[in-house]
Amino acid sequence: MQEADMTIIGGGLVGASIAWGLARSGMKPLVLDGSDLDLRASRANFALVWVQGKGLHAPHYALWSDRSAKMWPIMAEALSQDSGIDVGLVQQGAFTFALSDEELESFRVDMECIAAETAGRAPAFEVLTREETRDRVPHLGPDVVGSVYSAADGHVNALRLFHALHIAMDRKGASYRPNHKVNAIQPVANGFILQGDGFSILSRKIVLAAGLDNERLAPMVGLACPLKRSKGQVLVTEKCKPFLPCLSPTIRQTDEGGIMIGDSEETDTSNIATSSDISAVLASRAIRIFPALADLNVVRSWSGFRVKTADGVPIYDQSAYHPGAFLVACHSGVTLAANHSLIVTPQIAASKLGEDLSPFSARRFHAQQIA
Q: Say what the pLDDT of residue 371 is.
A: 53
CB atoms within 10 A of CB 273: 10
Nearest of 337, 334, 335, 318 to residue 326 by alpha carbon: 318
- Give one word for 28, left, alpha or beta, with left for phi > 0 and alpha for psi -120 to 50: beta
When pLDDT is cut at 50, 70 and 90, the band that residue 36 belongs to is: confident
Q: Say what the pLDDT of residue 302 is.
A: 87
- Residue 202 confidence (pLDDT) above 90: yes
- Residue 309 confidence (pLDDT) above 70: yes
Q: Say what the pLDDT of residue 42 is.
A: 63
Three-state SS for 45?
coil
Tell me the C-alpha distance between 157 and 20, whole Å: 18
In this prediction, residues 170-199 reach a mean pLDDT of: 96
Q: Say what the pLDDT of residue 127 is.
A: 97
Report the length, in residues, of the chain.
371
In this prediction, residues 130-152 reach a mean pLDDT of: 95
Domains, the chain: 2-52+159-226+312-368 (3.50.50.60), 94-151 (no CATH), 227-309 (3.30.9.10)
Contact predicate 290/253, CB 8 Å: no
- Would strands 325-329 and 199-208 be described as parallel, antiparallel, or unpaired? parallel
Contact predicate 199/35, CB 8 Å: no
Tell me the C-alpha distance between 194 and 182, whole Å: 6
Q: Say what the pLDDT of residue 252 is.
A: 92
Contact predicate 213/196, CB 8 Å: no
Q: Say what the pLDDT of residue 43 is.
A: 66
Contact predicate 173/186, CB 8 Å: no
Tell me the C-alpha distance between 307 and 227, whole Å: 7
What's 90's DSSP letter? B
φ/ψ of residue 279, rounded to 5: -60, -40
Q: Considering only 57-66, 92-101, 358-367, which range has the smallest mean pLDDT?
A: 358-367
Tell me which of 17 and 35 has the higher pLDDT. Answer: 17
Give the rounded percent of residues in the chain with a pLDDT score beyond 70. Answer: 98
Tell me which of 332 and 245 has the higher pLDDT. Answer: 332
Average pLDDT score over the chain: 93
In this prediction, residues 144-156 reach a mean pLDDT of: 96
What's 124's DSSP letter? P
Nearest of 92, 150, 65, 38 to residue 331 by alpha carbon: 65
Q: Say what the pLDDT of residue 231 is.
A: 87
Nearest of 249, 89, 268, 79 to residue 163 by alpha carbon: 79
Q: Say what the pLDDT of residue 6 is.
A: 97
Packed helices 59-83 and 13-24: angle between N→C axes, nearest 10 degrees: 60
Three-state SS for 292?
helix
Tell me the C-alpha distance between 48 and 20, whole Å: 20
